[in-house]
Structure formats: structure tokens, C-alpha cells
């Protein structure tokens, strides 16, 4: 399916006007960056790069798209002809997916003609802004959870395609599984899930529901024990599974005190190996508050897929340089509170004893720190290793390495300044 119309109208009208002025083919550099992290956040995580490259493959104005634009008089015939022949031949570099970012980090650099680059703005920003918002929230939740299992289960709280993107972003961060089957199929993410309260209410008794689930799925399932009386449900679950039930799930009430009493009861009944999973509108703060509770696994939904209060990363896509008579000219906005640094930039991370000390952004490529940008598209050729399930696995590995460089103060959930400064040289 073409992704060409997943864009704003003014991207195409700018192409029309640039064709009219003769500047459409002027070589340009656009950069994606955030002017600041979401308020109080100490770092962000880049996600969506693989999806962006996949979307670029399908960014084509086929006959259906051209006919829509013609019928609705969006652009003139000359522009329609240009769009019908569109093929991205430029180059794109950027932060590897799973990398950390900070204010003014040049997470994506697009080098192409003005017309080629500008038509991609809306699509690129919509993917990067959402996926990175989810990934940044997921990172806080993952590290609040410590060594306990954590799964994504927010599909019913988001647009159906956003739900898949959210599951993908969370898995890159280190989540263990998702409830979303399309995310499992598309990206090789482990899936999980057993039953909801409706399954219990369907049956004539809670015991009958438990018997049906155990008979169908075996003892390695998880039984939901908070539909009625938790203690009675736990006793019946242990009895019916012959003390071999893998897990029980608690989805309401005071999760901490409920987990304490359920753990005590399970042990008294001899179900010492039965684990406790908690759900119910968790976020990084409630997960952290449960650190001392006997919880084995968390399931996170609404807060994750909405970025835990920050549903967008705040990325912008700005022209920073263009070529004039074979000379690169640096350009930048000077608008109050919306200014930026002109010129193509390179980014490195200064490390000391293996920990990040600063984000270094420079117009010069050479620097002693760890380089953060990798080639994603080379003269129109998309680097396939970053797409699909292999790309997700690569991003997950890279994130684990990148987050290990974060100073301990970066994991604090309290509001504060970015854990490292951005230095311009």
C-alpha cells in the first residue's frame, strides 16, 4: 500500500511552488531533532527508524494517488507529473534505532533535492514522534521493573496500527512480550495472553471457568483471580491445578497489598512456584512503588501506548543547508523560542569509564567520542538490515548497549535536567 498520501497538503504545494521558482532540484540537508526533551525527562530513546525505512520503500504516487490529487485540485499538472515519477535518490543517515537522544541531537539527516526531501517530512515525523515517545516511556518502565518480566498490552487503547508500532517500540527497549498478534507476526515479538474477566463471567461459576481454561491450556497458563473474591479464587486455582499453576493475575485494587496476601496464601497452600502478575493501568511510578511487593511480572497498557503523559517526542524537520553554485549555505530559523543551529551536523557521545558524559554536536565529523549516526539510505539504496524482524532484533541489541552507558542519575523517575548536556563545538 502506498504511503505517499500519509502527508500534509502543504508538502506538495511547496513542491509545486519550488518547481515554479526553479528551486525544486536545489540540493538540501534537512535534520530531525527535538529542541528539548519532554519536561522533566532525563533522556529519550529513538524508535521507528525501521518502520520509517519500510514506509519510504512504499512512498510512491501511483495512479490512484495521482487521480485523487487531480480530482481534488491539490496541485497542478506539472507537479502531478513530477510526483508520478518520484523516486527518492538521496541519502539518509541517523541515530541507530534504540539509541538515546537529547536536546538538538540530529537523529535523522536527509540529503536530497528540496522536492525529494520535503515531501517526506510529515511521514517521517509521524513515525519518529510516536515511536520514540513510546520507547522513551517504555525505557522508564523497563528500568523501574528491574529484573522482573514486563509485557506490553495496550492494543485496546490505541489506533490499531499505532498498537503494533507501540509493541514494536517496547520490545526494542527490552519488554519481554506483547499481547498484539500482528506485532508478533510482523516483527517476531513473543506474544502472551490468556483470558479476561468476561471469560469468568461467561461460566456458571468461577471454578467452572478455571476448569475450562486449565483443561484447554494446561497448568502453564495464568488464571485471573480478582473477578470476585481473590482468596477464594486463589484457593480454587491451586486446588484445580494440583499446586502446579504457572501464574495468577491481579487486575484491580491495591496491587501491592493484594500481591502480599496472595503470595502468602500461595505459599501456605504449597504453590510456591506459582508466580504473580499484576496489571491495571500501570505506569513507571506504580511499577516503582511495587518494587518491594512479591510481584513477578507486569503488564502495561494505556500509559505505555500514550507515552506516559508525553504522546509525542516533539521532533521537528528543518532545512539546515542548501547548495548554491556548488557552495553549501547554512540556513536556520531565528524565530523566538524556535531557533536552531544551521549546517549539517555530526554527533558523538563522550564517554568516561564507559559512562556517557556529554552529547557532542558539531559541524565537523572528526571527534574522539562514540559516533552516533549510521547510514540508513545511500543514494536511494535502503539499508535492509534495519527493516522488519531483523531490524527489531538489531535495535534491541543496540539499545541494551546504549542504555548501559547511562549514568545512574539518568534512571531517576523524579523530574530533572537531562542526564548529560548537549555540547556544540
Residue 367 has pLDDT above 80, yes or no: no
Would you place residue 395 in the very low, low, confident or very high pLDDT band (cuts 50, 70, 90)?
A: very high
Asked if 131 and 168 touch (Cβ cutoff 8 Å), the reply is yes
Residue 244 has pLDDT above 90, yes or no: yes
Asked if 290 and 255 touch (Cβ cutoff 8 Å), the reply is yes
Residue 334 has pLDDT above 90, yes or no: no
Both 185 and 300 in one domain: the answer is yes
Share of the chain above pLDDT 90, in %: 95
Both 332 and 417 in one domain: the answer is yes
Crossing angle between the packed helical segments 121-145 and 49-57, to the nearest 10 degrees: 150
pLDDT digits (tens, 9 = 90+) for 113-159: 999 999 999 999 999 999 999 999 999 999 999 999 999 999 999 99
Please give the residue range of the domain that contains residue 98.
Answer: 9-134+311-424
Query: Is residue 4 a part of any domain in this protein?
Result: no
- Mean pLDDT for 59-65 is 97
- Give the whole-angstrom CA distance, residue 312 versus residue 139: 15
- Mean pLDDT for 390-413 is 97
Residue 187 has pLDDT above 90, yes or no: yes
The predicted pLDDT at position 132 comes to: 98
The residues near 29 (Cβ < 8 Å, ≥ 6 apart) are 109, 110, 111, 319, 320, 321, 322, 328, 343, 344
- Give the whole-angstrom CA distance, residue 131 versus residue 167: 9
Both 28 and 120 in one domain: the answer is yes
Both 181 and 262 in one domain: the answer is yes
Residue 333 has pLDDT above 90, yes or no: no
Query: Is residue 387 a part of any domain in this protein?
Result: yes
- Give the whole-angstrom CA distance, residue 378 versus residue 139: 30
- Paired with 299 in beta bridges are 151
Q: Cell triple for residue 183?
A: 506485532
The predicted pLDDT at position 340 comes to: 79
Domain total in the chain: 2
The predicted pLDDT at position 365 comes to: 86
Q: Which of 263, 287, 309 is the last residue before a domain boundary?
A: 309
Query: Is residue 2 a part of any domain in this protein?
Result: no
Both 354 and 339 in one domain: the answer is yes
Asked if 291 and 146 touch (Cβ cutoff 8 Å), the reply is yes
CA-CA distances (angstroms) from residue 249 to 7, 301, 406? Answer: 42, 15, 33
Asked if 300 and 319 touch (Cβ cutoff 8 Å), the reply is no
Share of the chain above pLDDT 70, in %: 100
Would you place residue 83 in the very low, low, confident or very high pLDDT band (cuts 50, 70, 90)?
A: very high
The residues near 159 (Cβ < 8 Å, ≥ 6 apart) are none
- Mean pLDDT for 192-201 is 96
Residue 196 has pLDDT above 90, yes or no: yes
Asked if 165 and 130 touch (Cβ cutoff 8 Å), the reply is yes
The predicted pLDDT at position 245 comes to: 98
Q: Which of 284, 309, 334 is the last residue before a domain boundary?
A: 309
Would you place residue 54 in the very low, low, confident or very high pLDDT band (cuts 50, 70, 90)?
A: very high
Both 108 and 165 in one domain: the answer is no
Tell me, what CATH number does 234's domain have?
A: 3.20.20.70
Both 186 and 328 in one domain: the answer is no
Both 148 and 283 in one domain: the answer is yes
Q: Which of 257, 283, 309 is the last residue before a domain boundary?
A: 309
Tell me, what CATH number does 22's domain have?
A: 3.20.140.10
pLDDT digits (tens, 9 = 90+) for 411-424: 999 999 999 999 99
Both 203 and 333 in one domain: the answer is no
pLDDT digits (tens, 9 = 90+) for 169-182: 999 999 999 999 99
- Mean pLDDT for 19-45 is 97
Query: Is residue 139 a part of any domain in this protein?
Result: no
- Paired with 371 in beta bridges are 348
Q: Which residues of 324-345 are buried (b: 16+ CB within 10 A; e: fewer)?
A: eeeeeeeeeeeeeeeebbbebb
Helix (H) or strand (E) holding 112: strand 108-113
pLDDT digits (tens, 9 = 90+) for 311-326: 999 999 999 999 999 9
Q: Cell triple for residue 80?
A: 502531478
- Give the whole-angstrom CA distance, residue 406 versus residue 413: 14
- Give the whole-angstrom CA distance, residue 175 versus residue 34: 25
Would the pTM count as exceeding 0.75? yes
- Paired with 361 in beta bridges are 347, 424
Residue 341 has pLDDT above 90, yes or no: no
Both 186 and 252 in one domain: the answer is yes
The predicted pLDDT at position 175 comes to: 98
SS3 270: coil
Query: Is residue 1 a part of any domain in this protein?
Result: no
The average confidence (pLDDT) of the chain is: 96
- Mean pLDDT for 95-104 is 97
- Give the whole-angstrom CA distance, residue 21 versus residue 50: 35
Burial of residue 256 (CB within 10 Å: 0-12, 13-18, 19+) is middle
- Give the whole-angstrom CA distance, residue 296 versus residue 260: 12
Both 256 and 273 in one domain: the answer is yes
Both 242 and 316 in one domain: the answer is no
Query: Is residue 3 a part of any domain in this protein?
Result: no
- Give the whole-angstrom CA distance, residue 155 versus residue 160: 7
Residue 30 has pLDDT above 80, yes or no: yes
- Give the whole-angstrom CA distance, residue 345 versus residue 347: 7
Query: Is residue 35 a part of any domain in this protein?
Result: yes
Query: Is residue 375 a part of any domain in this protein?
Result: yes
- Give the whole-angstrom CA distance, residue 179 versus residue 193: 6
Residue 335 has pLDDT above 80, yes or no: no
Amino acid at each position: 500500500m502506498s504511503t505517499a498520501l500519509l502527508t500534509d497538503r502543504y508538502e506538495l504545494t511547496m513542491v509545486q511552488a519550488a518547481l515554479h521558482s526553479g528551486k525544486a532540484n536545489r540540493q538540501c540537508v534537512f535534520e530531525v531533532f527535538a529542541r528539548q526533551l519532554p519536561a522533566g525527562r532525563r533522556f529519550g530513546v529513538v524508535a521507528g527508524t525501521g518502520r520509517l525505512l519500510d514506509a519510504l520503500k512504499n512512498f510512491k504516487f501511483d495512479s490512484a494517488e495521482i487521480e485523487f490529487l487531480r480530482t481534488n485540485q491539490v496541485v497542478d499538472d506539472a507537479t502531478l507529473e513530477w510526483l508520478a515519477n518520484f523516486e527518492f535518490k538521496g541519502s539518509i543517515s541517523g541515530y541507530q534505532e534504540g539509541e538515546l537522544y537529547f536536546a538538538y541531537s540530529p537523529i535523522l539527516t536527509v540529503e536530497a533535492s528540496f522536492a525529494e526531501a520535503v515531501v517526506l517530512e510529515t511521514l517521517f515525523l509521524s513515525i519518529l514522534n510516536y515511536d520514540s515517545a513510546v520507547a522513551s516511556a517504555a525505557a522508564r518502565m523497563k528500568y523501574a521493573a528491574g529484573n522482573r518480566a514486563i509485557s506490553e498490552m495496550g492494543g485496546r487503547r490505541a489506533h490499531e496500527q499505532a498498537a503494533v508500532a507501540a509493541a514494536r517500540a517496547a520490545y526494542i527497549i527490552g519488554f519481554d512480550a506483547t499481547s498484539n498478534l500482528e506485532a508478533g507476526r510482523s516483527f517476531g515479538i513473543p506474544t502472551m495472553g490468556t483470558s479476561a474477566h468476561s471469560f469468568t463471567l461467561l461460566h456458571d461459576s468461577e471454578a467452572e471457568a478455571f476448569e475450562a481454561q486449565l483443561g484447554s491450556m494446561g497448568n502453564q497458563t495464568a488464571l485471573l483471580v480478582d473477578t470476585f473474591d481473590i482468596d477464594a479464587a486463589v484457593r480454587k486455582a491451586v486446588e484445580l491445578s494440583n499446586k502446579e499453576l504457572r501464574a495468577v493475575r491481579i487486575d484491580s485494587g491495591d496491587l501491592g497489598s493484594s500481591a502480599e496476601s496472595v503470595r502468602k496464601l500461595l505459599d501456605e497452600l504449597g504453590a510456591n512456584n506459582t508466580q504473580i502478575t499484576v496489571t491495571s493501568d500501570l505506569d513507571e511510578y506504580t511499577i516503582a512503588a511495587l518494587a518491594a511487593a512479591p510481584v513477578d511480572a507486569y503488564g502495561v497498557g494505556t500509559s505505555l501506548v500514550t507515552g506516559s503523559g508525553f504522546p509525542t517526542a516533539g521532533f521537528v524537520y528543518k532545512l539546515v543547508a542548501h547548495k548554491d553554485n556548488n557552495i553549501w549555505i547554512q540556513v536556520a530559523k531565528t524565530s523566538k523560542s524556535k531557533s536552531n543551529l544551521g549546517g549539517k551536523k555530526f554527533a558523538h557521545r563522550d564517554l568516561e569509564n564507559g559512562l556517557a558524559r556529554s552529547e557532542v554536536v558539531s559541524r565537523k565529523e572528526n571527534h574522539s567520542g562514540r559516533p552516533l549516526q549510521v547510514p540508513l539510505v545511500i543514494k536511494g539504496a535502503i539499508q535492509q538490515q534495519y527493516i522488519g524482524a531483523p531490524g527489531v532484533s538489531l535495535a534491541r541489541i543496540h539499545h541494551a548497549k546504549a542504555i548501559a552507558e547511562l549514568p545512574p542519575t539518568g534512571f531517576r523517575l523524579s523530574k530533572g535536567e537531562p542526564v548529560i548536556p548537549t555540547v556544540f563545538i
